[in-house]
């Protein structure tokens, strides 16, 4: 029997963050404009263009007008959100987060 996943995957509280930024995709060497949806101390949820070749486990770098920036790892990609939000939803975990949350719950 498989246990149901908890509704909340984050170890830290999130806050809404309707702002634009740049996501540098290290695997392709390209930058993509992204929209921050929400942010926590450990990571962020973003919306990226549908053509971005992103996969879970890939390294990225975020640039934003706020403190939400730096090296991160993609932990989840949801392409099925394209119709609802106009792009692909991507969850990232910030690489500079210490402690168990870095290897535990997703962003």
CATH code at position 39: 2.40.10.220
Domain count, the chain: 1
CA atoms within 13 A on the CB side of 74: 24
Is 42 part of a structural domain of the chain? yes
From first to last of the 107 residues of the chain, give the pLDDT tens digit.
444 444 555 577 788 888 899 999 999 999 999 999 999 889 999 999 998 999 999 999 998 866 667 899 999 999 998 888 889 999 999 998 765 544 444 44
Is 2 part of a structural domain of the chain? no
Is 105 part of a structural domain of the chain? no
Alpha carbon distances (Å) from 33 to 30, 86, 100, 104: 10, 13, 30, 28
Across 32-43, b (16+ Cβ under 10 Å) vs e yields bebbbbbbbebb
**Tokens 């987060």 sit at which residue?**
97
User: What pLDDT shows up at residue 45?
Assistant: 94
């Amino acid at each position: 029997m498989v246990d149901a996943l908890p509704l909340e995957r984050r170890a830290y509280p999130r806050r809404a963050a309707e702002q634009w930024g740049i996501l540098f995709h290290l695997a392709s060497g390209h930058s993509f404009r992204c929209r921050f949806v929400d942010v926590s101390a450990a990571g962020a949820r973003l919306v990226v263009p549908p053509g971005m070749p992103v996969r879970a486990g890939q390294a990225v770098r975020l640039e934003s007008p706020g403190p939400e920036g730096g090296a991160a790892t993609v932990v989840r990609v949801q392409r099925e959100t394209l119709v609802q939000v106009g792009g692909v939803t991507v969850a990232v975990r910030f690489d500079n987060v210490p402690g168990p949350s870095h290897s535990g719950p997703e962003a």
